[in-house]
Amino acid sequence: MSSRRAARCATRKSCRPPTTTAWSWPTRAYGCSTINPHKEKENVVVTQQWSQTAEINAGRLQSNPYPGRGIVIGLTPDGTRYAQVYWIMGRSENSRNRVFIGEENGFVRTEAKDPAKLTDPSLIIYYPVRHTGSAHIVTNGDQTDTVYDALASGGTFEQALTTRTWEPDAPNYTPRISGLVDLSDASCAYKLSILKTNQGDASQTMRHYFHYEQGIAGFGHCVTTYAGDGNPLPSFQGEPVLMPLFDDIAQTAAFYWDRLNADNKISLLVKTIDKATGKTETHIVNK
């Protein structure tokens, strides 16, 4: 190994690229002869497995007539931006009478498409997306404000949600789903949460929190309010599922919009957050 080449390798903790792009380690780009080709092969296999899993989960979303509201959080394939996807669905006229409106400060709110047809604003008019400092919040209800207020005053995501439960819409008891990307938190890439009853028992609130230490380039994790259609609507079960993400924000929006039930989908947004600069971009689709 030449002295210049050896110096380049000596200044790095590892000859591997950053962990957020670990699924496509380029040997030549890093100019280091110590990369294990067997390890590279293993990573290719893992990438293929993850891609297959994400494809299967996307297919399940497409075949589900009513997953309800959904959140996906993850990392773009180029590893430079976090992505937050959020959509809303509805079956009643009141629920379907909504659109997403982006504000100049980067917040997004729901608004009645036709104010004359709005019969009950509770549970359907809220801010799904807000941010404070480097913390970017996305939720399916007014707990966005609860998390925002807690973070702004020095509290935590978990402390905020401890004060909330599921939505008061018996017999469905719709889960509250929430997510957070905080660029100032070096220990966690992003978080997801779901608050729901214990098998429909309204006397108990189950609080699930999922902390992802690292983002995986090209993938995100998804949680929805419902497992599918029904009466009452069955709550989401299990852990957030792996889903694909894309570098182009419009492509990500189109991918998910096309996989939501045509009759029940209402609005969808994608927000990206640059890891280095904190710069954000939002793309909105309204039916």
Query: How confident is the model at residue 58, as a pLDDT?
Result: 98
Residues of the chain with CATH 3.60.20.20: 66-286
pLDDT digits (tens, 9 = 90+) for 47-96: 899 999 999 999 999 999 999 999 999 999 999 999 999 999 999 999 99
Q: What is the DSSP string of 179-191?
A: EEEETT-TT-SEE
| Structure-token pair, residue 265 | 């989908």
Separation CA 30–CA 17 (nearest Å): 8
| Structure-token pair, residue 154 | 């020095």
Superfamily of domain 66-286: Inosine monophosphate cyclohydrolase-like (3.60.20.20)
Q: Is the pLDDT of residue 188 over 70?
A: yes
Separation CA 281–CA 279 (nearest Å): 7
pTM for the full model? 0.86
Inter-CA distances, 215 with 37, 151, 245, 264, Å: 24, 22, 12, 31
Question: Poorest-confidence range of 31-40, 127-136, 152-161?
Answer: 31-40
221 SS3 class: strand
pLDDT digits (tens, 9 = 90+) for 192-251: 999 999 999 999 999 999 999 999 999 999 999 999 999 999 999 999 999 999 999 999
Q: Which residue has the higher pLDDT, 2 or 186?
A: 186
230 SS3 class: coil
Q: Is the pLDDT of residue 27 over 60?
A: no
